[in-house]
């Protein structure tokens, strides 16, 4: 079959590879759409250390079941599906405790980190365990369903954040995940959503997708402006979706006393923390990792139009066009939000 194979860093080839093996508990999926994630771009140049060549990357995908293992009886050929990007073991303490996203033995599709190599979905077909596969409604287009994985990150972040009906939420960083997070926060009950970014195009997208207020972080004092919008108190919750010291500080200083900050971004391995501000104002800091079984809710939210991904897709490309697009995205293309590969 054809696939995009990372043969060495910064060298992606459209080539023939072996068909994936289908275990007794697996489902073979014909890939109809697979999104290019920012982590794939970082993997392309080796900067993350988690995409060691040779590797087929890609973990945001949807497609059609074409075969099933002997133990799979509920996924007939032709079923429209998507699947989780993470394969948990189901046996460790965290899996048994209901926290599969924290699995001690988890493997991520399209990742090779030295401990394991798990080929991903930039290919015509992929084999995945039945337990991470979810059926799609006919109304959800494959290119939209490929973004369920990204949506699940946002929905999980909102689910673990103490949002109450009528709350004000700040989203610092209006990139792909930030724009999904603001929609998830609105669905969770926040009625005022303030988006913060340095890019006018992203802020315009935030406004289109439900932000009530947008702020250029380099043109205004964000915490002070937010206090002005909230009778001097500050926002109830904030989502930091970048992962750097300045934006984490902005999120912390933008919430009220007793507020909560959920840390979604992880660009920097370490940051400086305004400790006294957190302690003296009793701020809750919450990290969030991936998703934890929210795929059914995400599919439902997308199918009903509560979370809209269509404006985020800026290009749909063929598998053969993949190598040139990886070069383009790695070089930096500010016009692109989400590029979807359609094998």
Q: pLDDT tens, 79-111?
A: 999 999 999 999 999 999 999 999 999 999 999
- Identify the pLDDT of residue 48: 83
> Is position 127 within any domain?
yes
The answer to whether residues 274 and 323 belong to one domain is no
The answer to whether residues 91 and 214 belong to one domain is no
Q: Which residues 6+ apart lie within 8 Å of 177 measured at CB? A: 150, 153, 154, 241, 264, 265
Q: Which residues 6+ apart lie within 8 Å of 216 measured at CB? A: 196, 197, 198, 200, 203
Domain extent, residue 101, equals 2-147+309-341
Q: Nearest CA to 62 among 182, 157, 148? A: 148
> Is position 294 within any domain?
no
The answer to whether residues 162 and 233 belong to one domain is yes
Report d(CA 291, CA 282) in Å as an integer. Answer: 27
- Identify the pLDDT of residue 133: 97
- Identify the pLDDT of residue 55: 97
Number of residues in the chain: 343
Where a domain ends, among 241, 256, 287?
Answer: 287
The answer to whether residues 178 and 315 belong to one domain is no
The answer to whether residues 60 and 89 belong to one domain is yes
pTM (2 d.p.) = 0.94
> Is position 314 within any domain?
yes
For 1-51, write each residue's pLDDT tens digit: 999 999 999 999 999 999 999 999 999 999 999 999 999 999 999 988 889
The answer to whether residues 277 and 143 belong to one domain is no
> Is position 295 within any domain?
no
The tokens of 205 are what? 């997208």
The answer to whether residues 161 and 281 belong to one domain is yes
In degrees rounded to 5, what are phi and psi of residue 22?
-115, 110
CATH of the domain at 224: 3.40.50.720
The answer to whether residues 15 and 143 belong to one domain is yes
> Which parts of the chain have pLDDT scores under 50?
none
The answer to whether residues 12 and 100 belong to one domain is yes
Look at the alpha carbons of 73, 67, 339, 329 in this order and tell me if their dihedral is positive or negative.
positive
> Is position 322 within any domain?
yes
CATH of the domain at 38: 3.90.180.10
The answer to whether residues 108 and 160 belong to one domain is no
Look-up of token digits 């596969």: 133
> Is position 301 within any domain?
no
Report d(CA 188, CA 111) in Å as an integer. Answer: 32
> Is position 54 within any domain?
yes
Domains in the chain, number: 2
The answer to whether residues 135 and 167 belong to one domain is no
The answer to whether residues 118 and 158 belong to one domain is no
> Is position 235 within any domain?
yes
- Identify the pLDDT of residue 333: 86
Binning the chain into helix, strand and coil, the percentages to the nearest 5 are 30, 30, 40
């Amino acid at each position: 079959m054809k696939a995009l194979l990372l043969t060495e860093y910064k060298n992606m080839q459209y080539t023939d590879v072996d068909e994936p093996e289908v275990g007794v508990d697996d489902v073979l999926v014909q890939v109809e759409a697979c999104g290019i994630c920012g982590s794939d771009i970082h993997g392309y140049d080796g900067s993350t250390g988690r995409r060691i060549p040779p590797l087929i990357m890609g973990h945001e995908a949807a497609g059609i079941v074409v075969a099933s293992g002997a133990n799979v009886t509920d996924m007939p050929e032709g079923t429209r599906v998507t699947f989780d990007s993470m394969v948990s073991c189901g046996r460790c303490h965290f899996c048994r405790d209901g926290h599969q996203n924290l699995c001690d033995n988890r493997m991520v599709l399209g990742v090779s980190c030295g401990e394991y190599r798990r080929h991903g979905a930039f290919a015509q077909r992929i084999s995945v365990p039945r337990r991470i596969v979810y059926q799609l409604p006919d109304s959800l287009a494959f290119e939209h369903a490929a973004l369920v994985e990204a949506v699940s990150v946002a929905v999980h972040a909102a689910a673990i954040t103490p949002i109450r009906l009528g709350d004000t939420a700040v989203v610092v960083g209006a990139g792909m995940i930030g724009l999904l997070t603001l929609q998830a926060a609105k669905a969770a009950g926040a009625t005022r959503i303030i988006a913060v970014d340095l890019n006018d195009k992203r802020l315009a997208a935030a406004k289109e997708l439900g932000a009530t207020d947008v702020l250029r972080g380099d043109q205004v004092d964000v915490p002070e402006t937010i206090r002005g919008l909230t009778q001097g108190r500050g926002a109830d919750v904030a989502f930091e979706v970048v992962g750097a010291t300045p934006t984490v500080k902005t999120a912390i200083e933008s919430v009220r006393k007793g507020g909560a900050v959920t840390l979604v971004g992880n660009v920097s391995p370490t940051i400086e923390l305004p400790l006294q501000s957190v302690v003296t104002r009793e701020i809750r800091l919450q990290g969030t990792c991936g998703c934890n079984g929210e795929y059914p809710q995400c599919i439902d939210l997308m199918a009903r139009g509560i979370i809209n991904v269509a404006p985020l897709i800026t290009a749909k490309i063929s598998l053969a066009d993949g190598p040139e697009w990886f070069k383009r995205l790695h070089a930096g293309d500010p016009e692109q939000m989400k590029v979807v590969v359609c094998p």
